[in-house]
Amino acid sequence: MGLEQFKNRNVGTQNYTKLDVGVKPATSMDQFKQVVKRTFKGELFVGLWVTLREMVNALFLDKMHTVKYPFEKMPISPRYRAIHDMLRLLESGHYRCIGCGLCEKICISNCISMDTRYDENQRKEVTEYTINFGRCIFCGYCAEVCPELAIVHGQRYETASEQRASFSLFEDMLTPIDKLNLQQEYDGFGAVSPNADANIKKTPLAY
């Protein structure tokens, strides 16, 4: 479909279809009549039949449609951009974030902040990391810019909590160390392309 009809801004010349909504009752007597007519039309039993049918389906034929939220959740697309996860290295279990600050820089709603320091092993340690979800617009730039695939969008879309701080500190987003084996490699927004390996050029090394 082309975009022509959307670009036509001359109201009235487009091909609109009018719905038949019938005639509005004019007097209160007409209104009363409409109510009585609709009430005793038998539509009620059509509805009750559907309910009964689905109850039988669900209880006896094992064809349940209801998702028991919040005990059950619908699977969502891997590309869905919900609350961020901070991933760990699979081998060592160390967090992947190197504290480069690129996510902090690229964040267009300026809601990422991190504290870093020089640690005893001469490495940059990320001592704290936070995202202000009151401001985050879930644009995914942070995940896209991350050179280490450390910050990704997760599947957790419930952004309600007693305190904002309870889901936005480093620890809350980091894969729990005991669930490291369950950590999934993310193939959503910002993930490496399938042919990434082929694009890598090796640095010549003399040894």
Partner 1 sequence: MGKVNIKIDGKEYAVKEGEFILNAARANDVFIPAICYLTRCSPTLACRICLVEADGKQVYACNAKVKDGMEVTVNTPNILEERRAIMEVYDVNHPLQCGVCDKSGECELQNYTLELGVDSQSYTIQDTKRETTNWSSVLHYDAGLCIVCERCTTACKDMIGDAAITTVKRGGEALDKGLKSTMPKDAYAMWNKLQKSVIAPSNGTEFTNCSDCGECVAVCPVGALSSRDFVYTSNAWDLKRTPATCAHCSSGCQIYYETKPASIEDRTEKIFRVTNEWNYVSLCGAGRFGYDFENRVKEKDEKAFSKAVEAVKNAGTIRFNSVITNEEAMMLQTLKEKTGVKLVNPDARVFQKFLNAYSVASGQSLYSLDFKDVMATDFVMSVGSSLRNDNPNARYAFNNVQKMNKGAGLYFHPVGDNLVPTFGKNVEVFTHKVGLEEAALYLILDLFADESKLPSDVKEYLASFKSTSTKTVKEKVMKSVTETVVDKETGESKEVTKKVPVMEEKEVTVESNGLVELLGKSSDTFATTFEKMMKKKESFSLVVGEDLYFHAKAENIARLIALIETASSVSVAMIPPKTNSLGVALICELDDEATGSTVGYNENGDFTLSALGRGDLDMPSMNQQEGTLTNMHKRVTPTNAALEYHGYELNDIMKVLIDAPRETIDWTVKLPVTKGFKAVEFDSLPNGYLNDGTENRGYTLETVKTDAEEIAVEKVDESMVLDGEIVYRCNPQRQFNDFSDKAHEIFEAFGLYASKARAEALGAKVEITFDNRSIVVDVIEDERMEGDIVALSDFKSSQDVYALFGESRYKNVTMRKV
- Footprint of partner 1 on this chain (CB under 8 A)? 98-102, 104-105, 113-118, 122-125, 128-130, 147-148, 201, 203-207
Given CA atoms 139, 162, 73, 59 in this order, what sign does their dihedral have? negative
> Whole-number minimum distance, CB 103 to partner 1, in Å?
11
> Whole-number minimum distance, CB 141 to partner 1, in Å?
16
> Whole-number minimum distance, CB 44 to partner 1, in Å?
59
CA dist 61 to 10, 14, 47, 57, Å?
55, 49, 20, 5
CA dist 109 to 116, 131, 132, 190, 206, Å?
21, 10, 9, 18, 45
Provide the 8-state DSSP code for 149: S
For residue 188, give the nearest of 133, 151, 136, 147 by alpha carbon: 151
Q: Which is nearer to partner 1, 61 or 206 (CB)?
A: 206
> Whole-number minimum distance, CB 173 to partner 1, in Å?
13
Q: Which is nearer to partner 1, 62 or 197 (CB)?
A: 197
**Contact (Cβ atoms closer than 8 angstroms) between residue 170 and residue 116:** no
Q: Which is nearer to partner 1, 99 or 154 (CB)?
A: 99
> Whole-number minimum distance, CB 114 to partner 1, in Å?
7
Phi, psi angles (nearest 5°) of residue 39: -65, -40
Distance CA 106, CA 130 (A): 15
